[in-house]
Amino acid sequence: MKDAVRQLVTGKNFATVATIGPDGGPQASVVWIDLDGEELVFSSLVKRQKVKNIERDPRVAVTIFDHENPYHSAEIRGTAELVDDPNKEWSVRLSQKYLGEDPPEGEPESDLRYAVRITPEKVNEFCV
């Protein structure tokens, strides 16, 4: 992945993750995201629709744009893998990245989370 796209993902920019719903139509949601080696990673509660979608069809499309210059953006298509995250390490890591602090209280420990790891297969960068 080229440096300019890496900077979009490692910056404090919000991303959208699109998945395929049970009816074959698109679903999308806004997430915190980061890069770990060559993989994109976000954290999700196990119970979320997007997790169910990924279990059925792991193909995802991520968009991200620079908050300071939204005319610089990227679409990253790839395959997602759901990795158990019993200690919610990625939830903490992303909260620290975006908020500079641990995640807000209120999420029951019994609400399990996955680290969703995306292997990029196609990257389109746009600079309008």
The yes or no reply on residue 95 touching a second copy (CB under 8 A) is: no
Return the sign of the alpha-carbon dihedral for residues 11, 71, 15, 36. negative
Under 8 Å between Cβ of 92 and 49: no
Q: State the Cα–Cα distance between residues 114 and 92, nearest whole angstrom.
A: 12
- Cβ 43 to a second copy shortest distance, Å: 13
- Count residues binding a second copy (CB under 8 A): 25
CB-nearer residue toward a second copy: 25 or 100: 25
Selection from 111, 52, 110 nearest residue 80 by Cα: 52
Q: State the Cα–Cα distance between residues 66 and 73, nearest whole angstrom.
A: 6
| Subset of residues 99 to 118 that bind a second copy, contact rule: CB under 8 A | none
Among 14, 47, 56, 84, binds a second copy (CB under 8 A): 14
The yes or no reply on residue 27 touching a second copy (CB under 8 A) is: yes
The yes or no reply on residue 25 touching a second copy (CB under 8 A) is: yes
The yes or no reply on residue 81 touching a second copy (CB under 8 A) is: no
The vertex-124 CA angle with 50 and 58, nearest 5°, equals 25
User: Where does this chain bind a second copy (CB under 8 A)?
Assistant: 14, 16, 18-20, 24-30, 57, 59-63, 65, 67, 70, 73, 75, 77, 126
